[in-house]
């Protein structure tokens, strides 16, 4: 059970980091609507 929670949390954090990177790239490319969508994912 503890291992399942760790896997879930690790997966959530990885997806969050990817979303943040995507948002930063969108901001750099002046794609603000896309950036906003990624931030709230």
pLDDT tens per residue, range 1-41? 789 999 999 999 999 999 889 888 988 998 888 777 766 65
pTM for this one?
Answer: 0.71
Q: What is the pLDDT of residue 23?
A: 85
Tokens of 27: 């901001």
Q: What is the pLDDT of residue 41?
A: 56
Domain carrying residue 6: 1-28
Is residue 36 in some structural domain?
no
Is residue 40 in some structural domain?
no
Is residue 37 in some structural domain?
no
State how far the alpha carbon of 6 is from the alpha carbons of 1, 16, 23, in Å. Answer: 9, 15, 26
Tokens of 15: 């997806």
Show Cβ contacts of residue 24 under 8 Å, excluding neighbours closer than 6 positions: 35
Is residue 1 in some structural domain?
yes
Is residue 16 in some structural domain?
yes
- Look at the chain and report how many structural domains it folds into: 1
Q: How far is CA 1 from the centre of its chain?
A: 25
């Amino acid at each position: 059970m503890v291992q399942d929670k760790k896997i879930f949390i690790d997966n959530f954090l990885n997806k969050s980091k990817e979303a943040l990177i995507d948002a930063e790239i969108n901001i750099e490319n002046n794609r603000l609507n896309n950036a906003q969508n990624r931030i709230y994912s």
